[in-house]
Structure 1
Amino acid sequence: MRTDIENTLLNKILDLPSIKNHVLTWQAEGQKVVFTNGVFDLLHIGHLTYMAKAAELGDKLIIGLNSDASVKRIKGDDRPVNDQNSRAALLAALFFVDAITIFEENTPADLIKTLLPDILVKGADYAIENIVGAKEVLANGGEVKTINFVEGYSSTSIINKIRNRT
């Protein structure tokens, strides 16, 4: 019987001091820590492909997840569709995601400066010099990578498709 599933998922969702300790431990063990961030509302194949490719770049994948309040500021009052706890739990269920932390700011700049991952990843729609936190990661000896998105998939397009059917 799978009695530990809930604890396993919840143990991946960490506050900032806890995730910082994990990063320091992993890096001390010689493991490469990869960081990416996003809203990840209405999880879809584009998200899965993106995160799986990010995970392949290192040993541990951390996801910085926008809080509900930051999503509302960025995307409007009707977002997110799924609350931050639901979005975090879905991400925690993915075997290639090692840790999730929720951030309140509009960007993960402070989070990245605190964690200093070995590899910072964003979508290829960003130029490396415009990626939040890139300067700090590079100055710390890390790398910044971009990953192409899967064409035709976005939470916004899914939401619009649903709205047009009703």
Structure 2
Amino acid sequence: MERLQEESYDTSGLPEIDSDLIEGRILPFVIPAVAAVVIRIGSRYVVKQTLKNGVKKNITIKNGKLAGKSHPKTGVKFDAKGFPIFSKKAQMTLPNSLLKSSNTKQFKEANAYLKKNINNGKISKSNFTSNQLKDIQNGFTPRSMTWHHQDRGKMQLVDTAIHKATGHTGGKAIWGTK
């Protein structure tokens, strides 16, 4: 029987990890993988997900059959894994501590990001109507816009009507559930 050689790695440059974090007392969930593992089972595309308790499950990707094609009603293109590629006005990434939080908390964070970056000029005001800019300055999601959960922790500000009419499995169904 071949003996595996034990490898050691220099971890001196890495930050120390809090034992409370490792034992699940701070974050009571497994932080999801950076990219979804998508497989094809017959004619369906599914995401393989492993929960903290070790239970594995497959999440069927709604409209996965549109992988590499466009949605017949909205024209939104789908990537090779079956996820929609929406036209976005803004994009931000949630901190890990908010990945499993409610939409209310996630949207509050995204709206604060949007306001800050419009005020400092990193996001152009010309992307929005005067009423939408008022919404943003008041800490709200701009009218007729929706925060779409994309890849792990990524939030995209997209058109509400197009988002609603484009059936899809959102990122939160994959990385945002316990």
Asked if Structure 1 and Structure 2 have the same fold, meaning a TM-score greater than 0.5 normalized by the shorter chain, the answer is no
TM-score range, shorter chain: under 0.3
**Normalization by structure 1: what TM-score?**
0.27
Greater relative contact order (Cα 8 A, min sep 6): structure 1 or 2? Answer: 1
Structure whose CA Rg is larger:
2
**Normalization by structure 2: what TM-score?**
0.26
Q: Per residue, is there more helix in 1 or in 2?
A: 1
